[in-house]
Amino acid sequence: MAQSPQRESRLGRFLGRVGARYMRFVRATSKVTIEPPDIIERANATHPFILAMWHGQFALMPTLHELNGKNFRVSAMVARHADATAIRTLLGAFDIDVVLGAGANGRKRDKGGAYALRTANRLLGDDCTLSMTADVPPGPARRAGIGIVTLARLSGRPVVPFAVATSRFIALPTWSRMTINLPYSRLAYVVGDPIRVPADADAAALEMHRRAVEAGLNRATERAYALVGADIGRVTPPTPEASAGPARIGFALKTYRAATSLLGFVAPLLLAVRARQGKEERARRGERYGQASLPRPAGPLVWVHAASVGETNAVLPVIDRLLAEREDLSVLLTTGTVTSAAMARRRLPPRAFHQYIVLDVPKYVRAFLEHWQPDLGVFAESEVWPNLIVEASRRQIPLALINARMSARSARRWRWLSGFSRPLFSRFDAVLAQNEVLVRTIKRLGARNVLAVGNLKIDAPPPVVDAVELDRLRHALDKRPVLVAASTHDPEEEIVAAAHRLIQARLPGIATVIATRHPGRG
């Protein structure tokens, strides 16, 4: 049941007061070390500045303001939380004002970042020091965002790395390893050297200074934990890159593999039904069982798997480039649809050939890999088939996922099925994602080496066209208004047809072109 705003605000104020008293209790019962010893004099000389810290390591930051005798104004940038009242009350107990807002970090939801940036810049100009975390939820942790150096460039004020640590603490299992400092500890405050960003810094210079902030914060944090004799590893978020290798196959994936083994009994029936629907080539049905219809060529073989027409169009330039780089190389392209197979027949260059992808049944997959013995497996976009990946990894075949994409809904499903996602995504030796948001998403699923390199579909050359037909179409549409309905599904064509009739009353001669999502429905 939702709480009333009044009750929520009252509870927030109570929690904020308790939090402030607890922080003072921790400081009062702990043996304090300050590095450098003249930290107060340095702060007074540098004010106003941007005090930077890592997310999850800021719990005792307000006590630093009391340590300097509250000699100057301080504000803190805080993300918009449901517990904003508690945070505002807590910081207010240390005479620290609050600026609500945070960077979106590639997310669609507005976190008030633009407003916070403007407000922070104004406060720094009004002789107010600003404290903020350098890394932005939901991560990656310990990676400074571009926002903090952008603020430094706009304001002309330096970024000062800061860390605080206690010998006794609780590290929560959050993305940032949120740390609760405990009383009766050794306590260390560490402040690094100021980092100044020139007003004319371009994108390359901003990135250089972002890395400098990141390095400065890491040095300060390591030094703080060394001074108190605590294990920094307990508060360091794990990264997929740091893992020794692929994640262990657990119960969920073992269950899937056992269940798909039973699929072999009904596979002939399923394929027969699909053949009657025009979705399978009867003459090549054996390829679905791992029975190759072509011999393996001599020499190195790269296996590229794409789902259908769109993915095939995206990987064709990659295949061309691979073959151009290595004259001894052959490429096996696998897809799952009749239309993509027809495209492959028309457009694959010499030394490249097509087979239908094997059904994801363990014995079929083993037969497929035993025959082809690829030297490299390349999967396109979201083609993550558990048995294919596991069996290829067992044969020590390097695997790459290129042009990787994933919807928010699929990402939530994969995160919920972590028993599937981590063993699978950690088996890719490289993942080339379409953008930085997908990099973070796929890393959270267990991938170890993920880079953002752009979208192959955008960079792909235009599809091959029939010049005669194209010229005929241009003459037919000359000076006529045209409505294009692209990538349609049933029953969208009926809706488009109805719209055409309505528009035709106002625009006689309008031409409507329907391009169905699946070419076979044309």
Contact criterion met (CB below 8 Å) for 400 and 420 = no
Q: How far apart are CA 76 and CA 288, in angstroms?
A: 60
Tell whether 244 is covered by a domain: no
Question: What pLDDT is stored for residue 58 in this prediction?
Answer: 87
pLDDT in tens for each of the 522 residues of the chain? 344 444 457 888 899 999 999 999 999 999 999 999 998 899 999 999 999 999 989 889 999 888 877 788 999 988 766 567 788 889 999 999 888 765 444 444 445 567 788 889 999 999 999 999 998 876 678 999 899 999 999 999 999 999 999 999 999 888 788 999 999 999 999 999 999 999 999 999 999 999 999 999 999 999 999 999 999 999 988 765 544 578 888 888 899 999 999 888 888 898 999 888 888 999 999 999 999 999 999 999 999 999 988 899 899 999 999 999 999 999 999 999 998 999 999 999 999 999 999 999 999 999 999 999 999 999 999 889 999 999 999 999 999 999 999 988 898 888 888 888 889 999 999 999 998 888 888 988 888 889 988 888 887 777 778 889 989 988 888 889 999 999 899 899 999 999 999 999 999 889 999 999 877 788
Same domain, 281 and 226: no
Instruction: Please give the pLDDT value at position 444.
Output: 84
Q: Is residue 59 part of a domain?
A: yes
Spatial strand order in the sheet of 159-166: 31-35, 186-191, 159-166, 50-53, 129-133, 74-78, 96-100
- Domain identity same for 221 and 352: no
CATH of the domain at 25: 3.40.1130.10
- The torsion angles phi and psi of 15, rounded to 5 degrees, stand at -65, -35
Would strands 179-181 and 169-171 be described as parallel, antiparallel, or unpaired? antiparallel
Q: How far apart, in whole angstroms, are the C-alpha atoms of residue 198 and residue 177?
A: 33
369 and 304, same domain (yes or no): yes
Q: What is the pLDDT of residue 118?
A: 87
Active site residues: 311
Please indicate, yes or no, if residue 124 is contained in any of the structural domains: yes
Separation CA 267–CA 275 (nearest Å): 12
CB atoms within 10 A of CB 225: 24
User: pLDDT, tens digit, for every residue of 467-490?
Assistant: 899 899 888 888 899 999 998 998
> Residue 131 CA to chain centroid, in angstroms?
27
Put simply, whether the predicted model's pTM sits higher than 0.75 gets the answer: no
Please give the structure tokens belonging to residue 322.
Answer: 């691979």
Domain boundary pick from 174, 208, 237: 237
Neighbours of 50 (CB within 10 A): 27
Q: What pLDDT score does 187 carry? A: 97
Q: For the chain, how many residues are written?
A: 522
Does residue 449 sit in the same domain as residue 471?
A: no
Please name which of 202, 193, 170 lies closest in space to residue 183, comparing C-alpha atoms.
Answer: 170
* CB-CB contact of 159 with 194 (8 Å): yes
Do 441 and 504 share a structural domain?
A: no
Residues 79 and 171 in one domain: yes
Rounded Cα gap, residues 250 and 382, in angstroms: 22
Paired with 483 in beta bridges are 512
Q: Is residue 246 part of a domain?
A: no
Within 8 A by CB and 6+ apart from 231, the residues are 225
Residue 419 lies in a domain: yes
**Domain count within the chain:** 3
Separation of alpha carbons 137 and 518, rounded Å: 39
User: Both 263 and 229 in a single domain?
Assistant: no
Residues 425 and 399: beta-carbon distance below 8 Å:
no
With CA atoms as reference, report the closest residue to 164 among 213, 100, 235.
235
The total of other beta-carbon atoms located within 10 Å of residue 170's CB is 11
Q: Which position has the token pair 């299992």?
A: 173
CA dist., res. 222 & res. 416, Å (int): 34
**pLDDT by residue (tens digit) across 46-56?**
999 999 999 98
> Got the DSSP string for 217-267?
HHHHHHHHHHHHT--GGGGS---GGGSSSSPPP-HHHHHHHHHHHHHTTTH
* CATH number for position 267: 3.40.50.11720
CA distance 100 to 119: 9
Same-domain pairing of 218 and 266: no
Cβ–Cβ < 8 Å for 187, 27? yes
- Look up residue 306 and give its two tokens: 């794409």
**Domain carrying residue 488:** 467-521
Q: What is the structure's pLDDT at 289?
A: 94
Over its C-alpha atoms, the chain yields an Rg (Å, rounded) of: 30
> What was the pLDDT predicted at 3?
42
CA dihedral for 400, 355, 519, 491, sign (positive or negative): negative
Of 110, 115, 13, 79, give the one whose Cα is nearest residue 5. Answer: 13
User: For the residues of 180-212, what is the DSSP string, one character each?
Assistant: EE-SSSEEEEEE---B---TT--HHHHHHHHHH
How far is the C-alpha of 75 from the C-alpha of 91, rounded, in Å? Answer: 9
DSSP H or E segment with residue 451: strand 450-452
Q: Which residues pair with 330 in a beta bridge?
A: 301
* Domain boundary residue, one of 412, 443, 459: 459
Residues 167 and 228 in one domain: yes
Is 26 within the bounds of a domain?
A: yes
Examine the domain organization and report whether 328 and 304 are in the same domain: yes
Dist. CA 125–CA 171, nearest whole Å: 36
Residue 503 within any structural domain of the chain: yes
**In sequence order, what DSSP letters do the residues of 338-400 get, joined into one string?**
HHHHHHHHHHPPTTEEEEEPPPS-HHHHHHHHHHH--SEEEEETT---HHHHHHHHHTT--EE
